[in-house]
A = this chain, B = another copy of it.
C-alpha cells in the first residue's frame, strides 16, 4: 500500500500542451487528434466528441450563472461538431457535484443545458450523475453526423489555401478579464456594486458562447467544403499551429486582418497600456469561432460570406507559422493558451 505519486523520472503535465498530452496518451490507438472521432462507414458518418469543464479552472461560480454554465457546456461540445463540418444530433451530460449544490441549482443548470439543446436541435438522450467532495465537473458527449465527402479534418490544408476565421477574436478573454476584475473588487468590498455596463458583448462571449453552426450551414449553401478546419478554443495561435502541424505546412497571417471587436480593444486599454488586443486574439482563447482553410478557387464564394475574414494563407511544408505586423515585421507564432489562475 503506497501513495501513487511518482518521484523518480517524473515529467510534469505542464511540459505538454493539451493536444500534445492527448497525442502521447493515445499514440497507436484509433485517436486521430481531430475535434471529433469519426465512426462508421458508408455515406453518412457519425461524429462523437467529449468536453469536460471543471469548477475553479474552467468556470468560477462567483460570476457564472448556472443556466449560462449549462448552456456553455453543451455549446462548446457542439462547437467541436461544427469544426468537423457536421450537424449535432444527440447529447449525453455527466455531472459530478458536491452536496453544496441543491437540486434547485441543478434544475437551473439543466435549464441551460436544455435551452442550448433546443436551440441547436439536439436531443438530450442520456447522462450520469456522480458525487464530488468539492466543486462541479460537467462532461458533455455530443454525437453528430456528416456526409462522408464533407468531413473536414485538421490535416487537409494545402500550400496557397486561404486561411479564414469567423466572427471576432479575443472578446471572450476580454469578458473574462472584466469578470475577474469585478470579482477582485467585490472580494475587497462586498458592498461594491459591479459595473458591467457597456461590456455586455464581451461578457456574453465568455459566459454564453454560441457554436458557429450558422457558418457550417452557410458554407454548405455555397457548396464550399473547407480543406481543413478546427474551432478556436485555446487562442488563434494555438489553433493555427495545430492546423499547420496536422497538415504538414506553414501559415502566414496578417495582423490587421485579424477581426477584433471595439469592446475588446476598450477592455485592453482599460486594463493596461501594455495589453494589446491582438494578444487576446492570439492567446486568449475560449472564443469558439471557426478557423478554416479553403482553396483559392473558393475565394469569390468565401469573400461574400457574412462574418468571415480571410486573414492569410497556407505556406509551404517546412515553413514556420508567422504573423506579419502592419509595420511588416514577421513574428513567429507560439502557442500559449491561457489558464485563468
Contact = CB atoms under 8 A, between A and B. Distances in A.
Interface of A: 1, 3-6, 9-16, 18, 21-22, 24-26, 29-32, 36-37, 39, 46, 48-54, 56-58, 61-66, 89-90, 92-97, 99-108, 110, 114, 117, 123-135, 137, 139, 141, 143, 182-183, 186, 194, 339
11 contacts: A4-B64, A4-B108, A13-B106, A25-B110, A26-B127, A29-B117, A49-B126, A51-B94, A52-B95, A128-B139, A141-B141
A134 B56 CA distance: 10
Dominant secondary structure of chain A at its interface with chain B:
mixed
A16 B102 CA distance: 11
A11 B99 CA distance: 10
A7 to B, nearest CB: 9
Contacts of A26: 110, 124, 127
Given A50-B126, A143-B39, A186 B1 contact: yes
Contacts of A107: 24-25
Contact of A92 (B110, B117, B141, B182): B141
A131 B340 CA distance: 11
Contact of A124 (B29, B65, B90): B29
A22 B128 contact: yes
Contacts of A62: 1, 3
Nearest to A194: B1
A101 to B, nearest CB: 6
A90 B186 contact: no
